[in-house]
Amino acid sequence: MSNNTQILILDNDLSCLTTLERILHSLGEVICFNNAMDFLEHLKTKSSPGIILIDTNSHGFNGYEILNKLHSQSIINDVPILLTIKEDVKDESTIHLSGAHDYLFKPYRLSIVQNRVKSYLELKQVRDQLKDQARWIENEVTKRIYDLQLTFDLSIDIVTQLVETRNPDGATHITRTRNYYEIIMRRLQKSEKYRSVIDEKYIVRTVKASPLHDIGKMGIPENILMKNDKLSTDEFDIVKTHTTIGYNTIKNVVDTSFITDLLKSNANSDSSEFFKEALNIAKYHHEYWDGSGYPEGLKEDKIPLSARVMAIVDVFDALSNKRVYKEAWSIEKTTHYIKSKSGTQFDPDVVKAFLLESDAIRKIWETTRN
- Residue 195 in any domain: the answer is yes
Confidence of residue 310 (pLDDT cuts 50, 70, 90): very high
pLDDT of residue 333: 95
Whether the CB-CB separation of 318 and 370 falls below 8 Å is answered with no
Indicate if the pLDDT at residue 131 is higher than 90: no
The answer to whether residue 245 is domain-embedded is yes
| pLDDT for 264 | 56
Note whether 104 and 53 are within 8 A (CB).
Answer: yes
Element (H, E) at 7: strand 6-10
For the chain, the residue count is 370
Residues 6+ apart with CB under 8 A from 138: none
Same domain, yes or no, for 129 and 211?
A: no
- The DSSP string of 164-195 is HTT-GGGTTHHHHHHHHHHHHHHHHHTSTTTT
Specify the higher pLDDT residue, 102 or 145: 102
Q: What CATH number corresponds to the domain at position 83?
A: 3.40.50.2300
Whole-number pLDDT of residue 343: 95
> Looking at the 3D structure of the chain, how many domains does it have?
2
Flag whether 153 is in a domain.
no
Please tell me whether residues 170 and 121 are part of one structural domain.
no
Shared domain for 86 and 194, answered yes or no, is no
Residue 135 has a pLDDT of 86
Do residues 252 and 188 both lie within one domain? Answer: yes
Check whether residue 184 and residue 112 sit in a common domain: no
Instruction: Name 55's bridge partners.
Output: 84
What single-letter amino acid sits at 109?
Answer: R
pTM of the complete model: 0.62
**Residue 319 is assigned to a structural domain of this protein:** yes
pLDDT, one tens digit per residue, over 220-232 is 888 887 777 888 8
Question: Which residue range is the domain that position 360 belongs to?
Answer: 165-368
Asked if the model's pLDDT at residue 98 lies above 80, the reply is: no
Residue bearing the bigger pLDDT, 254 or 2:
254
pLDDT the model gives residue 105: 85
Residue 115 within a domain: yes
Write down the mean pLDDT value for the chain.
84
- Quick check: 144 pLDDT over 70? yes
pLDDT in tens, 24-49: 999 999 999 988 888 988 888 777 89
**At CA 175, angle to CA 172 and CA 181, rounded to 5?**
135
When pLDDT is averaged across residues 46-72 and rounded to a whole number, the result is 83
When mean pLDDT is compared across 50-54, 60-64, 88-92, 271-275, the lowest value belongs to 88-92
Q: How confident is the model at residue 273 (pLDDT cuts 50, 70, 90)?
A: confident
Q: Is residue 127 part of a domain?
A: yes
Same domain as 191, residue 59: no
| Least-confidence region, from 29-38, 97-106, 221-230, 260-269 | 260-269
User: Within this chain, do residues 217 and 340 fall inside the same structural domain, yes or no?
Assistant: yes
Return the H-helix or E-strand segment holding 116: helix 110-164
β-pair partners for 125 = none
- Evaluate if residue 75 carries a pLDDT over 70: no
325 pLDDT above the threshold of 90: no
Mean pLDDT for 86-101 is: 66
Residue 156 is assigned to a structural domain of this protein: no
3 state SS of 100: coil
State the Cα torsion 23-27-32-37 to the nearest 10°.
-140
What is the predicted pLDDT for the residue at 96? 63
Last residue of a domain, one of 82, 116, 135: 135
Q: Indicate whether 241 and 329 sit together in one domain.
A: yes
Task: Provide the CATH number for the domain around residue 189.
Answer: 1.10.3210.10
Rounded to the nearest 5°, which phi and psi values hold at 33?
-135, 135
Whether 299 and 189 share a structural domain: yes
Kindly indicate the confidence band of residue 149, based on its pLDDT and cuts at 50, 70 and 90: low
pLDDT value at 148 more than 80: no
Residues 62 and 111 in one domain: yes
Eight-class DSSP state of 107: S
Q: At residue 346, does pLDDT exceed 90?
A: yes
Of residues 328 and 272, the one with the higher pLDDT is: 328
Residues 306 and 347 in one domain: yes
> DSSP 3-state assignment of 150?
helix
Are 206 and 117 found together in one domain? no
What is the rounded CA–CA span in Å between residue 32 and residue 10? 6
Q: Which residue has the higher pLDDT, 304 or 135?
A: 304
Residue 289's pLDDT is 96
